[in-house]
Amino acid sequence: MFTGIVTDMGEIIALEQQGDLRARIATAYPVETIDLGASIACEGVCLTVIATGTEPRGWFDVQISAESVSKTNIGAWTLGKRINLERALKVGDELGGHIVSGHVDGVAEILSAEAEGDSTRFTFRAPDSLAGFIAPKGSVALNGTSLTVNEVDGATFGVNIIPHTKAVTTWGAARAGDQVNLEIDTLARYVARLRDWAGR
């Protein structure tokens, strides 16, 4: 479980197809504190650590199934790409964002990014199958970042990203046309399920 508060920007330093995709991610996290089997949200995708090391700098390896690659933007990862990282929530940690599972629901496209005061207003197109789960003033996780929805118009929706968020996440480099990992709010998922069940 995560909160959508990014705590490091990692860098992809190795990619290898070994049946599943294996990625090596450089991190500022002290690798001696990362247990094998630990969960780390990588660009919003909950992945399991299978190895760690310190040369030439701190890194951890994750193994990524074909299912995860097909449902996320991981297929576009390249060497040198920066990605948002968040370690799993511990009991007693501050819940600064919203409850995020790291189970990405689909991929949204950035339609535009425009300056609005000191912030940047991003507009996205969600997959039609997920549009109904996105509500004004609700929460979404985009590339692992907890964000508040400003407005919704069909399958498009907008968010504002403040300068601090752009500075400490990969949003500072985001551009129109980019594909981003989208996780809908867990509460919206269960409300929809209960509605469907009640209507049977």
The pLDDT tens digits of the residues spanning 110-162 come to 999 999 999 999 999 999 999 999 999 999 999 999 999 999 999 999 999 99
pTM of the model: 0.92
pLDDT at 17: 93
Q: 160 is written with which tokens? A: 């504002």
Q: Do 77 and 160 belong together in one domain?
A: no
pLDDT at 94: 74
pLDDT at 193: 65
Q: Show the 3-state SS of the chain.
A: CECCCCCEEEEEEEEEEECEEEEEEECCCCHHHCCCCCEEEECCEEEEEEEEECCCCCEEEEEECHHHHHHCCHHHCCCCCEEEEEECCCCCCCCCCCCECCCCCEEEEEEEEEEECCEEEEEEECCHHHHCCCCCCCEEEECCEEEECCEEECCEEEEEECHHHHHHCHHHHCCCCCEEEEEECHHHHHHHHHHHHHCC
Per residue in 149-179, pLDDT (tens digit) is: 999 999 999 999 999 999 999 999 999 999 9
Q: Which residue would you say has higher pLDDT here, 197 or 41?
A: 41
Query: Is position 160 within any domain?
Result: yes
pLDDT at 69: 95
Q: What is the mean pLDDT of the chain?
A: 93
Q: 89 is written with which tokens? A: 């929530």
Query: Is position 154 within any domain?
Result: yes
Q: Do 19 and 68 belong together in one domain?
A: yes
Q: Do 40 and 70 belong together in one domain?
A: yes
Domain of 155 in residue numbering reads as 106-198
Number of domains observed in the structure of the chain? 2
Q: Which of 52, 87, 122 is the last residue of a domain?
A: 87
Q: Which residue would you say has higher pLDDT here, 98 or 177?
A: 177
CATH of the domain at 17: 2.40.30.20
Q: Do 192 and 112 belong together in one domain?
A: yes
Query: Is position 3 within any domain?
Result: no
Query: Is position 93 within any domain?
Result: no
